[in-house]
Amino acid sequence: LTIMDRFLQESANVDGKTYIGSLERAKKKATLVDDDDQASWLTVVLLLAGVGLVIIITYIIIKMNSVRRERLKKKTEKKISKRTKATLINKAADNLVPKLKLLGAKSSQ
């Protein structure tokens, strides 16, 4: 065995796992497994982080919209209450005017 083969054999027995098979397979596993595992974990972590970010951003947008909607509701309610007060006052005045005229006509007689 050359020094390189011995190194690959030892690195194939990393983590207490012995890779069964020929030295070639041991070489492949020793060189590929670590990189593949790290890359796959990295992609999984990045995907999860991306999905988490998207969820957080959509949640914030939905919250902002609901807050804006609430503010608009309050404003329109204020406007409506002002309008209804004004219309009630106007109706009362409209109802009072003919009565007052009648009273004035009676008192003049």
DSSP state string for 72-109: HHHHHHHHHHHHHHHHHHHHHHHHHHHHHHHHHHHHH-
- Token couple for 87: 């219309």
Give burial (CB, 10 Å; 0-12/13-18/19+) of 55. Answer: exposed
Residues in Cβ contact with 26 at an 8 Å cutoff, skipping those fewer than 6 apart: 8, 9, 12, 19
**Is the pLDDT higher at 74 or at 22?**
74
- Only one residue has tokens 């690195």, namely 11
- List pLDDT tens digits, range 42-100: 888 899 999 999 999 999 999 999 999 999 988 888 887 887 888 888 888 888 888 77
Quote the domain boundaries for residue 104: 3-108
- Token couple for 71: 């503010």
pTM to 2 decimals?
Answer: 0.39
Band (102; pLDDT cuts 50, 70, 90): confident
- Only one residue has tokens 């999860």, namely 48
Integer Cα distance of 82 and 78 in angstroms: 6
The count of domains in the chain is: 1
